[in-house]
Amino acid sequence: MKTLSGRWLFVPFLFIILWLTGCEGDDPGQPPTSPPQTATATVATPTAAVVEQRPENFYLIATDAPSRDGTFTDIDEFGTLVGYDAELMALLADQAGFEYEFVVTNLNGLFPAVAAGEFDMVMGALIIEDQPPAGIVYSEPYQELGQMLVVRANEIAIQGQAGIGPGMRVGVVANSPGEATARSVLNVADADLVLYMSAASAAQALVNGDVVAVVLNHMDAAFYTETYYQQLKIAGNQTGRNAWLSSRAYGIAVAAENVDLLERLNGAIEALQSQPDYSQLQMNWLARQVAIVPGESLIGTPSDEVVIGTTQALSDLDPAATVPNLLSWEVKLNTMTGLFRFDADNNLDPVLVEFINVQDEGLIYTISLKPDLTFPDGSALTAEDVQFSFLRAIRQGNFLLNGFLKDSDDDGFADTDSIELLGELSLRLVLDKPISYFTSVLATTPYFIVSKDCFPEGLAETSTCGGLGPYLIKEWLPGESLRLEANPDWPGRAPATPRIQIRFYPNSEALRTALENEAIDIAWNGLSRAEGAELEAGTFLGWNGPTVFKSYLVLVEDDPEDPPAERSPWNDPRVKQAIAMSLDREALASQIFGESRIPLYGPIPDGVPGYAEQTQTRNLEEARVILQAAGYSAGDPLSFTLHYLNDGRYTALEGEYAALIKAQLEETGLIEVTLEGAPWETFRPGSSSCEYSAFLLGWPPVGQPANFNDGMYWMEYFITNTERVCSHYESEQMAELLVQAEAADAMPDRPEARYALYAQMQALWATTLPTIDLTQEFSYALTASTVSSLRIDTMGLLRYDTIGKQDPSG
């Protein structure tokens, strides 16, 4: 069908002809993609002469534009007649095989002109009347619209129209049948009627609680209550026509004598209503299916979806990003993967790797990829994708690549040829120096592989492309929610739950309310242990994961070249040993933190690959002997200030924690401690510039994960960055063990030699004390009783694919 448009004018019984012809071979179901050509319109009086000029099989249709709400007919900026009626007539004409012209005019008093044959039809949101005007008949309805009352999903008082009373705000689309229904059927007063410009804005207002109900046509009502069933429903849970408050049937008026035209129209209407073009047309104009922001569930969570609530922010979904945001790394872990991957039991899985060969004493890694692996965008995984992904992260300045891959010019960026393509599924990686734990590093977020066809070369923080992971990213509404679905192409074990939703809350109060209202299944990283204990006393379940946060006492040594009288007491290793012996780590953990912490006797938290058990018993007598040998006495005690963070960044109990440390040390009778707390903006520069002689340090930094899942992460930093940590620790023996451990057997299936060296390092740590390890804190989640399984890994990341859920109904 070809469409030509002209100017239009409202003049009683003067009209402008808009030329529209039903031509075979065009696709009338598709909305126009470009402005139609413009023809000069003619203005004429519809006389018998005009009628005689109409050729056979050609019909003149009177219409009114714009219709009351612009849905059925309107005039666009190009002067073209648009709307539901205009596009529907194109489909009907194509179906029935006739040509036509629309005439835009005032429909008032027009029916006699139709009966007299001056027009063949009238189409313009005409409501079929029980008694048509004289000489007029209506076609079968080409559209029926029922009006329905929609309420929030947890509404119990409003079961139907009787539930609406004075003072209750009801939303409607302005100038719509819904507005008329609210006034005439529900008797909503003007003061209580809230007008919106679209069904979407009315539905959003209902979700937000701005109104108690909205009146929508049945198609809009069906879309919003079916799509957002956790937030919206039809009042009284009624279905079908039983829920219609009112209805209107729309038809085409023709002369009663024009039986042939009436039959053609009715046949075309009946045939069209079963065709996809008809449904698409309804969605385009009558139920446009505009998404809203649904908010949290009001009726609990579905049995096939786990909803996780958190107060953390999701910074990005790009593995090349350099900000080590804890939640961001967690989501990427569940939607992407690297060449290697740790499972929830700390087993290193070559999930994308068919074969690996480590050569040249650990400098070169030759890797063959598994075949037939597919990204969410449908493209196949190749070595080019690996190279593309690594180079993206390198260009962003990501340390975990630039600090390990070959950097021949020492510019801080790994060389491009450190990632060499050998074939479609094979590549070679060249390191800057041998690193025995490099395959553990390959399992970290910056090394995750993404599709070169979906991600750009630059950073794409808001991308939802994802990668090869257990879940696909279906929707991300920043600050609101993230929706995931199980990835059917994931080569690993299928997730326990097919759908995951993460909801973001501004504070712990909102998170707790959501859990108590059953809007979420899991409260993750947002509730304190005290709040958790209160809720666990009821029906909620607490889950401890591995310990992922360590508390250290850092003792700042001075330059050993300084005169002895000017050196810190910590330069004497005996004094550091006495401090360590004076501390009761068991009491520090249990008396202050209850069940949330346990003692820490070495640098590596329990359960991390390479951990070797260390123990140390408090021995006050031995500590006193050592201190006395070092020259201290009751009259001349070891005196120092212990600095700690007092703004709750580590814990709200940090002051009590520091006070108990002070009390334990002073039990020797030879130590005197002054406590000084400070907020982060003061504490950070004071500790990092070595102004403090002793301070409590939490590790890793709050809101960040461990860089990689290996015991070396927890040791290397405090051995090689002693000036930055301010401990100024030096040990030739420890430095040699570090070199040996990094150069150990690098094959991922043979970590024993490396772990044996780690054990030696941990034993030496206990005597030379780069830091004094105090306590370690469990990761913690609180869940509804329907959650049946849940795993948190040793980096503190929740493994969504392990979360199981019972159906509460049975």
Give residue for tokens 């960044």.
649
Stretch 333-346: mean pLDDT, rounded?
Answer: 95
Contacts of 796 (CB under 8 A, 6+ apart): 326, 545, 546, 548, 549, 705, 706, 779
Q: What is the pLDDT of residue 106?
A: 85
CATH architecture of 547-778: Roll (3.10)
Q: What is the pLDDT of residue 18?
A: 42
Q: What is the pLDDT of residue 298?
A: 92
Q: For residue range 126-161, what is the model confidence (pLDDT) as tens digits? A: 999 999 999 999 999 999 999 999 999 999 999 999
pTM of the model: 0.76
Q: What is the pLDDT of residue 809?
A: 62
Q: How far is the C-alpha of 511 from the C-alpha of 632, rounded, in Å? A: 52
Instruction: Give SS3 for 642.
Output: strand
Q: What is the pLDDT of residue 726?
A: 84
Residue 34 confidence (pLDDT) above 80:
no
Which has the higher per-residue pLDDT, 17 or 331?
331
Q: For residue range 263-289, what is the model confidence (pLDDT) as tens digits? A: 999 999 999 998 988 988 988 888 888
Q: What is the pLDDT of residue 70?
A: 72
Domain 2-142+251-285 has CATH 3.30.540.10: no
Q: Which two tokens stand for residue 342?
A: 């740790």
User: What do you get for the CA distance between the two ends of the chain, in Å?
Assistant: 57
pLDDT band with cut points at 50, 70 and 90 for residue 26: very low
Name the least confident of 12-21, 61-70, 788-797: 12-21
The domain ranges of the chain are: 2-142+251-285, 144-248, 339-459, 547-778
Given a contact cutoff of 8 angstroms between Cβ atoms, the answer to whether 394 and 388 are in contact is no
Written as one letter, the residue type at 177 is P
Percent over 90 (pLDDT), the chain: 79
Q: Which of 779, 157, 181 is nearest to 522 (CA)?
A: 779
Residue 759 confidence (pLDDT) above 90:
yes
Residue 546 confidence (pLDDT) above 60:
yes
Q: For residue range 469-501, what is the model confidence (pLDDT) as tens digits? A: 999 999 999 999 999 999 999 999 999 999 999
Residue 50 confidence (pLDDT) above 90:
no
Stretch 438-444: mean pLDDT, rounded?
Answer: 97
Q: For residue range 699-746, what is the model confidence (pLDDT) as tens digits? A: 999 889 999 999 999 999 899 888 888 888 889 999 999 999 999 998
Q: What is the pLDDT of residue 316?
A: 96
pLDDT band with cut points at 50, 70 and 90 for residue 196: very high
| Average predicted confidence (pLDDT) for the chain | 90
Which has the higher per-residue pLDDT, 59 or 2?
59
Which helix (H) or strand (E) segment is 390 a member of?
helix 383-395
pLDDT band with cut points at 50, 70 and 90 for residue 69: low
Question: Of 301-305, 529-533, 659-663, which one has max mean pLDDT?
Answer: 659-663
Residue 68 confidence (pLDDT) above 90:
no
Q: What is the pLDDT of residue 550?
A: 95
Q: For residue range 664-711, what is the model confidence (pLDDT) as tens digits? A: 999 999 999 999 999 999 999 999 888 999 999 999 998 899 999 999
Q: What is the pLDDT of residue 728?
A: 87
Sign of the dihedral defined by the CA atoms of residues 228, 229, 234, 235, in that order: negative
Strands 99-104 and 58-63: parallel
Q: What is the pLDDT of residue 564?
A: 64
Which has the higher per-residue pLDDT, 446 or 561?
446
Q: Which of 647, 697, 610, 700 is nearest to 329 (CA)?
A: 700
Q: What is the pLDDT of residue 239?
A: 85
Q: Which of 150, 170, 175, 179 is nearest to 210 (CA)?
A: 170
Residue 49 confidence (pLDDT) above 70:
no
Strands 353-359 and 364-369: antiparallel
Q: How far is the C-alpha of 740 from the C-alpha of 719, rounded, in Å? A: 14
Residue 16 confidence (pLDDT) above 70:
no
CATH architecture of 339-459: Alpha-Beta Complex (3.90)
Stretch 196-208: mean pLDDT, rounded?
Answer: 96
Per residue, the 3-state secondary structure of 585-599, as one string, reads: HHHHHHHHHCCCEEE
Q: What is the pLDDT of residue 11?
A: 38
Written as one letter, the residue type at 461 is E
Q: What is the pLDDT of residue 289?
A: 85
Q: What is the pLDDT of residue 286?
A: 85
Multiple choice CATH, 144-248, 3.40.190.10, 3.40.50.1980, 3.40.50.10440, 3.10.180.10? 3.40.190.10
Q: For residue range 214-258, what is the model confidence (pLDDT) as tens digits? A: 999 999 999 999 999 999 999 998 888 989 999 999 999 999 999
pLDDT band with cut points at 50, 70 and 90 for residue 563: low
Domain pair 2-142+251-285 / 547-778, same fold: no
Residue 339 C-beta-side C-alpha neighbours within 13 Å? 28
Which has the higher per-residue pLDDT, 727 or 194?
194
Q: What is the pLDDT of residue 52?
A: 52
Residue 3 confidence (pLDDT) above 60:
no
Before 66, cis peptide (omega within 30)? yes
Q: What is the pLDDT of residue 32?
A: 35
Q: What is the pLDDT of residue 746?
A: 86
pLDDT band with cut points at 50, 70 and 90 for residue 565: low
Residue 19 confidence (pLDDT) above 50:
no
Q: How far is the C-alpha of 289 from the C-alpha of 571, rounded, in Å? A: 71
Written as one letter, the residue type at 679 is P
Stretch 511-533: mean pLDDT, rounded?
Answer: 93
φ, ψ for residue 557 (rounded to 5)? -85, 160
Q: For residue range 575-604, what is the model confidence (pLDDT) as tens digits? A: 999 999 999 999 999 999 998 999 999 999
Q: How far is the C-alpha of 300 from the C-alpha of 469, rounded, in Å? A: 27
